[in-house]
């Protein structure tokens, strides 16, 4: 506002000159402008001076000489704002370059205030007061209202009218107000005689109103609670009846419980009686009904097979006395299961804890007819139906019970897998080898070992892929380590030079020494028997050129720590001293020998089964040239018997055949003859006697051999 | 005289035998039922002579514990037909002569 700036300037500089002394040229513009509106301060002073009145000087005013006063001081005042920047540069998007901006805003506002008061003698004020007078004729004496140009709003209330007008005008005349503020004080004097208005402070009110937010309703309703009706009547009789009924009920229940608990006690007593021989009560998971059903089944079997049971327990063949050394096998039960009929018995094993329980592995020895397999557990107490049934995808080739955990069965499959079945658990194997670590060929034998140093369960397996693998049972997996690889010596030499194929021997059976932990024997398909140690994975302790065909089974003597037996498809059974490379005894049985087993009660008794379905029982101490008993076990020609096992306690053997049948046979007294007590001498017992017995026989064989060497 | 004496004896015997709470009908969940039953027993024993106070106590406590609008009827003989919210009804006998019906309906 140039006017204001000029005004200020004059106040500071022009006062001393008294305003009288011809105002400078430039200044003149200012008063002129101001005169348009109202009389200004400067104007007043000038008027007073013109009137010749004495000037009232402030005491601290400078005294200037005439010359000084007359001196012209030239000042050029421009409308430019000295503080405004001269070189504003802005980026112009249009021209894409920084450009100096020629137009600079020169306005400087030092103070601005929009008041809500309107001076009475301003145009606006006059207009308003005019309106109010014309609107309400009750106040006709208003001086400021000279002319009533507008004749509107007669019915309206005067105050409301002025307010409304004030609102409008105040906004419109914004520019005027700025000037008005400064001159508020000077307005009243000429109008003092005016009659007081209702609004004695001469202001008008301003107000505004905002929009109210629109309202909206929202509601929801929940589902009512489901309700039911209930009705009844009650009186003393009903209450009495209810109580009496309840008490009677309670009494009845008590009686029942009593009788029940008595029954349970009785059953428990019975159980204890049977516990020694019964496995059934060990498993908690069998439901009550099945338990009862099982008992019933056994009872029925006991009745129907009473004669067999009597035979098993008491029958001793008296005709043995007239047979001399010979003995017989008395067939007892046949264990059959419909679903296992098409399989061959590939493995049998007695449970180490429950002497009546044995496991049978089913599979097939026919290479072309491989299918599924089965694992059945039978008990002699119930020959009609297996106690446990597990089926597997591949044929089972071998199995072994753990000695300390009789519920764990290790199983080897035709497809090279090994698995552990837990009889307590479900029908699936609790552990199974994975495809990565399994054997690549059928597993021919598995055997549990003592727990390792970390007390983990572990077992060994032998397969025709030439590996002997130790499996350790960690929490959820089977970890395998190759113990030995059966490399065939001699074969490499026959091959053309430069072609070094490593052929691996095919292990078919093995047995661990009863006392020397690390020592074990491996029979192979080539007919060799390797004496190995768990400690050396690449070398054998010894090699026996034992057979001309696959070794079907090797087994350490349970008493004599040096002696082992082997059988082969080349019709022979051989007994060895592992320190001597040649066999001690050789028996030709005129047919392939499928399995051989030492008797648990004597160091000199063993049984062998041949493919012509004959079982042979030998007792070396009685006859070291011939079998004491050679008996046809299964009659049909198509059938073959595959495996034989002695029961560890009872004088029975079980023999498996190729049609899924297991036959239990009792050994006649001649086959389990103990040395007769001489008069006045006690019968010696114990392993020492057994060892001595076998040693005596061996010495007979050894000496001539030594002699011939000499 | 002897008969009445015997009758009294029998009654005493009956009262001695039948002090326990006997639930006649309920569809409450186990936990709630036990709590409500115990509450009824406590209330009836506390206000043995004033069924109204007992009912009031049961109602107020049930309101606090399981939300409002419970209703309680206690008496020696009455008939009723009520509408109750499902799983919120207990109808029991207590002390050999009292019937207590507690239900919720809003």
Q: What is the mean pLDDT of residues A345-360?
A: 89
| Residue B41, domain extent | 19-104
Integer Cα distance of A13 and A15 in angstroms:
6
Which domain-ending residue is among A110, A131, A150? Answer: A110
Tally the domains of chain A: 3
Determine, yes or no, domain membership for A27.
Answer: yes
User: In terms of domains, do A382 and A432 share one?
Assistant: yes
Of the candidates B85, B86, B99, which has its C-beta nearest A234's C-beta? B99
Kindly state whether residues A120 and A188 are assigned to the same domain.
Answer: yes
- Give residue A611's pLDDT: 85
Tens-digit pLDDT profile for residues A528-556: 888 888 887 777 788 888 888 888 889 98
Whether residue B93 and residue A228 make contact (CB cut-off 8 A), yes or no, is no
Task: Decide the pairing of beta strands A507-512 and A519-524.
Answer: antiparallel
User: Does the pLDDT value for residue A172 go beyond 50?
Assistant: no
- A202 shares a domain with A322: no
Which of A231, A234, A239 is closest, CB to CB, to B82?
A231
Whether A227 sits inside 8 A of B84 (CB atoms) is yes
Residue A157's domain comprises: 115-207
pLDDT digits (tens, 9 = 90+) for A249-291: 989 999 998 888 877 777 666 666 555 444 444 455 556 677 7
The answer to whether position A227 is within a domain reads: no
Confidence class of residue A155 from pLDDT cuts 50, 70 and 90? very low
Across the interface, whether the CB atoms of B77 and A235 are under 8 A apart is answered yes
User: Lowest-confidence range among A618-622, B3-7, B62-66?
Assistant: B3-7
User: Would you place residue A219 in the very low, low, confident or very high pLDDT band (cuts 50, 70, 90)?
Assistant: very high
How many whole angstroms separate alpha carbon A328 and alpha carbon B94?
Answer: 81
pLDDT score of A142: 44
pLDDT tens-digit series, residues B29-67: 999 999 999 999 999 999 988 999 999 999 999 999 999
* pLDDT tens-digit map of A357-406: 899 998 888 777 778 888 888 988 888 888 888 888 888 888 999 888 88
Count CB atoms within 10 A of the CB of residue A315.
14
Nearest chain B Cα distance for residue A259, angstroms: 25
CATH number (domain holding residue A612) = 2.130.10.10
Give residue A119's pLDDT band: very low, low, confident or very high (50, 70, 90). Answer: confident
Size of interface A-B (CB pairs under 8 A): 73
Please tell me the predicted confidence (pLDDT) of residue B42: 92
Reported ipTM: the value is 0.84
- Is residue A331 one of the residues assigned to a domain? yes
Residue B91 located in a structural domain = yes
Whether A91 is in a domain gets the answer yes
Span A426-434, average pLDDT? 76
Tens of pLDDT, residue by residue over A292-301, are 888 888 888 8
Instruction: Encode burial over A30-49: b for 16+ CB neighbours within 10 A, e otherwise.
Output: bbeebeeebebebeeebeee
Are the C-beta atoms of A597 and A641 separated by less than 8 Å? no
Whether B5 is covered by a domain: the verdict is no
Determine, yes or no, domain membership for B99: yes
Q: In what order do the strands lie in the sheet with A344-350?
A: A344-350, A357-363, A373-379, A388-392
Task: Please identify, among A110, A144, A175, the residue that sits at the C-terminal boundary of a domain.
Answer: A110
pLDDT of A709 > 70? The answer is no
Last-in-domain residue among A110, A132, A163: A110
Residue A74's pLDDT is: 84
Range of lowest pLDDT (A11-20, A655-664, B82-91) = A11-20
Same domain as A435, residue A479: yes
Q: Which of A434, A436, A402 is CA-nearest to residue A418?
A: A434
Q: Are residues A342 and A482 in the same domain?
A: yes
Nearest CA in chain B to A241: B96
Asked if the C-beta of B49 comes within 8 angstroms of chain A's C-beta atoms, the answer is: no
The pairing of beta strand A97-100 with beta strand A89-92: antiparallel
Q: Name the pLDDT band for A148 (thresholds 50, 70, 90).
A: very low
A233 in contact with B at a CB cutoff of 8 Å?
yes
pLDDT of residue A143: 42
A97 and A133 in a common domain: no
In this structure, the answer to whether residues A581 and A620 fall within a common structural domain is yes
The answer, for B2 touching chain A at a CB cutoff of 8 Å, is no
Say if A195 falls within a structural domain: yes
In a shared domain, residues A82 and A134 = no
Domain count, chain B: 1
Domain annotation covers residue A292: no
Calculate the average pLDDT of chain A. 75
Q: What is the pLDDT of residue A153?
A: 40
Residue A489 and residue A467 in one domain = yes
For the domain that residue B92 is a member of, what is the CATH number? 3.30.740.10
Q: Has residue A23 been placed in a domain?
A: yes
Give the pLDDT confidence of A320-334 residue by residue, as tens digits.
777 777 888 888 888
Torsion angles phi and psi, residue A576, rounded to 5: -125, 155
- Tokens 């493995």 locate to A347
Please indicate, yes or no, whether residues A87 and A125 belong to a single structural domain of this protein.
no
Note whether residue B56 is domain-resident: yes
A97 with A197, same domain: the answer is no
For chain B, say whether A236 makes contact (Cβ under 8 Å).
yes
Of A228, A233, A247, nearest to B86 by CB-CB distance is: A228
Which of the four pLDDT bands, split at 50, 70 and 90, describes residue B4? low
Say which residues have a Cβ less than 8 Å from residue A102's Cβ, sequence separation at least 6. Answer: none
Neighbour count for residue A675 (Cβ, 10 Å): 12
Work out the pLDDT band at A137, boundaries 50, 70, 90.
low
State the nearest Cα–Cα gap between A279 and chain B, in angstroms.
41
pLDDT of residue A136: 59
**Exposure of A255 by Cβ count < 10 A (0-12 exposed, 13-18 middle, 19+ buried)?**
exposed
- The answer to whether residue A298 sits within a structural domain is no
Name the residue facing A243 among B27, B79, B93 (closest C-beta): B93
Whether B93 contacts chain A with CB within 8 A: yes
Same domain flag for A428 and A462: yes
Please tell me the distance from the alpha carbon of residue A354 to that of residue A452, in angstroms, as a whole number. 25
Between residues A639 and A211, which one has the greater pLDDT?
Answer: A211
């Amino acid at each position: 506002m140039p006017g204001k700036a000029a005004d200020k300037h004059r106040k500071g500089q022009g006062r001393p000159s008294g305003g009288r002394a011809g105002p400078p040229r430039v200044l003149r513009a200012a008063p002129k402008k101001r005169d348009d509106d109202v009389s200004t301060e400067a104007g007043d002073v000038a008027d007073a001076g013109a009137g010749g009145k004495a000037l009232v000087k402030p005491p601290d005013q400078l005294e200037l000489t005439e010359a000084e006063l007359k001196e012209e001081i030239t000042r050029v005042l421009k409308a430019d704002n000295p503080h405004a920047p001269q070189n504003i540069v802005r980026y112009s998007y249009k021209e894409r370059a920084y450009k100096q901006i020629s137009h600079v805003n020169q306005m400087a506002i030092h103070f601005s205030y929009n008041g809500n008061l309107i001076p009475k003698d301003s145009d606006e004020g006059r207009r308003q007061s005019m309106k109010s007078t014309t609107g309400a004729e009750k106040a006709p004496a208003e001086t400021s209202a000279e002319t009533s140009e507008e004749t509107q709003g007669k019915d309206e209330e005067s105050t409301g009218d002025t307010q409304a007008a004030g609102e409008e005008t105040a906004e419109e005349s914004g520019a005027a107000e700025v000037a008005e503020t400064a001159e508020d004080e000077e307005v009243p004097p000429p109008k003092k005689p005016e009659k007081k208005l209702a609004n004695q402070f001469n202001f008008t009110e301003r107000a505004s109103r905002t929009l109210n937010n629109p309202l909206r309703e929202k509601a929801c309703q929940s589902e009512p609670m489901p309700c039911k009706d209930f009705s009844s009547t009650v009186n003393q009789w009903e209450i009495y009846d209810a109580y009496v009924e309840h008490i009677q009920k309670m009494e009845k229940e008590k009686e029942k419980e009593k009788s029940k608990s008595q029954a349970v006690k009785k059953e428990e007593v019975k159980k204890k009686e049977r516990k020694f021989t019964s496995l059934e009560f060990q498993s908690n998971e069998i439901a009550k009904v099945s338990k009862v059903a099982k008992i019933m089944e056994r009872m029925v079997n006991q009745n129907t097979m009473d004669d067999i049971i009597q035979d098993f327990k008491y029958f001793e063949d008296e005709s043995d006395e007239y047979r001399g050394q010979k003995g017989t096998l008395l067939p007892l039960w046949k264990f059959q299961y419909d679903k296992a009929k098409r399989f061959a018995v590939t493995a049998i094993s007695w449970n180490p804890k429950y002497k009546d329980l044995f496991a049978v592995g089913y599979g097939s020895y026919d290479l072309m007819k491989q299918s599924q397999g089965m694992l059945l557990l039978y008990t002699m107490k119930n020959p009609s139906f297996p106690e446990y049934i597990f089926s597997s995808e591949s044929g089972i080739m071998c199995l072994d019970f753990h000695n300390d955990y009789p519920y764990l069965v290790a199983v080897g499959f035709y497809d090279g897998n090994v698995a552990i079945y837990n009889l307590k658990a479900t029908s699936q194997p609790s552990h199974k080898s994975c495809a990565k670590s399994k054997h690549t060929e059928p597993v021919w034998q598995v055997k549990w070992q003592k727990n390792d140093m970390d007390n983990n369960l572990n077992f060994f397996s032998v397969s025709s892929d030439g590996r002997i693998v130790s499996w350790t049972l960690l929490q959820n997996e089977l970890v395998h380590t190759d113990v030995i690889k059966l490399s065939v010596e001699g074969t490499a030499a026959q091959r053309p030079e430069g072609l070094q194929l490593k052929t691996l021997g095919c292990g078919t059976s093995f047995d661990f020494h009863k006392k020397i932990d690390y020592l074990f024997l491996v029979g192979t398909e080539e007919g060799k028997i390797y004496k190995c140690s768990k400690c050396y994975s690449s070398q054998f302790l010894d090699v026996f050129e034992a057979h001309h065909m696959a070794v079907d089974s090797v087994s350490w003597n349970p008493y004599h720590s040096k002696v082992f037996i082997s059988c082969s498809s080349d019709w022979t059974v051989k007994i060895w001293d592992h320190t001597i490379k040649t066999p001690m005894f050789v028996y030709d049985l005129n047919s392939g020998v499928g399995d051989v087993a030492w008797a648990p009660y004597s160091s000199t008794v063993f049984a062998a089964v041949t493919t012509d379905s004959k079982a042979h029982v030998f007792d070396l101490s009685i006859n070291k040239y011939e079998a004491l008993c050679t008996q046809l076990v299964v009659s049909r020609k198509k059938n073959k018997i595959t495996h034989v096992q002695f029961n560890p306690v009872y004088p029975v053997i079980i023999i498996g055949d190729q049609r899924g049948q297991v036959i239990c046979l009792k050994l006649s007294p001649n086959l389990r003859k103990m040395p007769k007590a001489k008069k006045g001498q006690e019968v010696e017992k114990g392993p020492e006697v057994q060892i001595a017995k076998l040693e005596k026989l061996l010495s007979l064989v050894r000496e001539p051999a030594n002699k011939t060497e000499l | 005289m002897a008969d009445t004496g015997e009758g009294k004896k029998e009654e005493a015997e009956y009262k001695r035998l039948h002090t326990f709470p006997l639930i006649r009908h309920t569809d409450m969940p186990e936990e709630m039922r036990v709590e409500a039953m115990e509450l009824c027993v406590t209330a009836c024993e506390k206000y043995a002579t004033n069924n109204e106070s007992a009912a009031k106590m049961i109602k107020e406590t049930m309101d606090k514990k399981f939300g409002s609008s419970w209703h309680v009827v206690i008496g020696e003989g009455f008939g009723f037909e009520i509408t109750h919210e499902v799983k919120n009804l207990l109808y029991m006998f207590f002390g050999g002569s009292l019937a207590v019906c507690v239900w919720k309906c809003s």
